[in-house]
Amino acid sequence: MPKVYSYQEVAEHNGPENFWIIIDDKVYDVSKFKDEHPGGDEIIMDLGGQDATESFVDIGHSDEALRLLKGLYIGDVDKTSERVSVETTSTSENQSKGSGTLVVILAILMLGVAYYLLNE
């Protein structure tokens, strides 16, 4: 049976050395992968300790990216736990730049992930 984490527990793992995200109610430890992320670690850093499902799905990751994600899985989120807000420095900076920048970055990220995974 997978380990179950509260939203608070996940939120506490948003630093550079200890970095978790939630995608589709599953918790992933992306601490070691974020530096190798084809779109750059800035994209992932904005989502540390949070539910990244919407951003992940919006990018349209490849099947290879989904397989890679499975290797980072550490448990499930307790959907009955209270959701918490996580604000990172890079999140507040990006909000001031507007959502247009985020769309461009996400598109580049999608291409980067595809390139990285096809060249493994």
Q: Which residues of 44-73 are buried (b: 16+ CB within 10 A; e: fewer)?
A: bbbbbbbbbeebbeebebbeebeebbeebe
Range of the domain at 89: 4-118
Residue range 45-101, pLDDT digits in tens: 788 899 989 988 888 777 878 888 899 999 999 998 888 777 654 444 444 445 566
Split into its structural domains, the chain has a count of 1
Residue 96 confidence (pLDDT):
46
Pairing of strands 26-29, 20-23: antiparallel
Q: Does position 25 have pLDDT exceeding 70, yes or no?
A: yes
* pLDDT for residue 97: 47
Quote the pTM value: 0.67
Beta strands of the chain (E only): which ranges? 4-5, 20-23, 26-29, 73-77
For the domain that residue 30 is a member of, what is the CATH number? Answer: 3.10.120.10
Average pLDDT, stretch 12-31?
A: 90
Q: Please, what is the angle between helix 99-118 and helix 89-97, to 10°?
A: 120
Residue 65 confidence (pLDDT): 80
